[in-house]
Amino acid sequence: MTALAALLLGLGYLTWETSSPVPRRQHQEPQVAAFELSTPNELMDLADVPAPFRKKNWRGDYGFGSCVHASTVTLLRYHGIDELASWWEITYNDGEQFNRFEKRLESAGLRYASIYGQKDLAFLEWACRNRLGAVIKYTDDDADQAHALIIVDLTPEYAVILDNNHVDQYEIVPRAHFERIWIGSGGIAVTFLYSPPPPWPAVN
């Protein structure tokens, strides 16, 4: 991690400053589907976060959003670390720097893995294959500000994301679009190294 890598939170977003900003590119709007899970379904292998565990983004003490911390609380609850999730929620909010964020994770004694500047999706594929989920920076082209959310599944065709601004549903994003946006956003992800709950059983 370089000293230039700074992670800032704004209202509902995550900002990552680098030495060379990524230019916006014109693109065709992808087809995005939204759906609700937490019941047996055809997507049995995703990190399906039960609705009560999902923390909605909130305005912090200095008026900024807390999307990194909201996603962290959600992912901790999903991994069954409820007491620490509740402590995190009342302890941290507003702006965040990535180095400080990692130090906070370490101070809390959390087992985690993180990447910065990734150019392919191997880390996300591993996290999703093991149903860990991951907090990622994901700034779409039409967004005024950057954003952080959780990826819960990644297949050869699509990615499934849980946005802390819209915790009532998941979004399915075409994989090619997701890959371009995630890499263009800096290739940043953090996941926790615990045992996720078992997947929903297959239904006939």
| CA dihedral (130, 134, 136, 142) positive or negative | positive
Domain that holds residue 185: 7-14+30-192
Condensed to tens digits (0 to 9), the pLDDT of residues 101-123 reads 899 999 999 999 999 999 999 99
Binned at pLDDT 50, 70 and 90, residue 20 comes out as very low
CB 116 within 8 A of CB 1: yes
Residue 197 lies in a domain: no
Residue 159, pLDDT above cutoff 50: yes
CATH of the domain at 136: 3.90.70.10
Condensed to tens digits (0 to 9), the pLDDT of residues 27-57 reads 333 444 554 544 445 555 789 999 999 999 8
Residue 146 lies in a domain: yes
Residue 100 lies in a domain: yes
* Whole-model pTM over 0.95: no
Number of domains in the chain: 1
Residue 198 lies in a domain: no
